[in-house]
Chains A and B, each alone.
Chain A
Amino acid sequence: DTGVSQDPRHKITKRGQNVTFRCDPISEHNRLYWYRQTLGQGPEFLTYFQNEAQLEKSRLLSDRFSAERPKGSFSTLEIQRTEQGDSAMYLCASRAGLSTDTQYFGPGTRLTVL
């Protein structure tokens, strides 16, 4: 399967712990996005990578959040000192180059902070 994959699918953690999620985009998609989706809402943009460069960050991305894409392929999203308000679905999406805006989403990582 060559779709977007995310790991883990579910994560339960205690408040104050750090968590890290991984996203593997569609092969050769050089653009990668992270979104957050809370219950009953649509996804909200967090950050964007073009190859290894993080080019845009939403104001939702507090300083406890950090994202990387070190080799321009997979990406990680780390949340430090988790809070209950961080509980959400974290979605990764990728797209090909300039000729299309179409984004393809992974299955998401469901984070629950106790």
Chain B
Amino acid sequence: GEDVEQSLFLSVREGDSSVINCTYTDSSSTYLYWYKQEPGAGLQLLTYIFSNMDMKQDQRLTVLLNKKDKHLSLRIADTQTGDSAIYFCAESNPSGSARQLTFGSGTQLTVLP
């Protein structure tokens, strides 16, 4: 079965680093994603990592993948107030043609001035 779990809330001070964690259960997942959602808006793709990678860096974003523990994290360096949003971890279902995404419940990131 598929289940993606995230902690619900995270607060950080502006300028600090944020680390958002996610665990997943489907070891056959090929891609894992991070999306950002601002109030009343759709989902913005932030980054993704292929399952044969351990780390991916993209400007202020660093994704770490521990396949053994089925743990994924997103680190945001120098967090800004504009980073306040809900962050979703998602895995793609490799079976079947749809490859639909299974999402966690999201982590509400609050950046304090």
Contacts and interface: CB of A to CB of B under 8 A. Distances in A.
A56 B97 contact: yes
Nearest to B4: A42
A35 B41 CA distance: 14
B48 A102 contact: yes
B21 interface: no
A108 interface: yes
Interface residues of B, number: 26
Contacts, number: 61
Given A106-B42, A110-B40, A101 B92 contact: yes
Interface residues of A, number: 25
Interface stretch (B30-38, B67-75, B77-85): B30-38
12 contacts: A6-B42, A33-B100, A42-B104, A42-B105, A43-B101, A45-B102, A50-B97, A91-B43, A93-B43, A101-B99, A102-B45, A105-B43
Interface of B: 4, 30-31, 33, 35, 40-45, 48, 88, 90, 92, 96-106
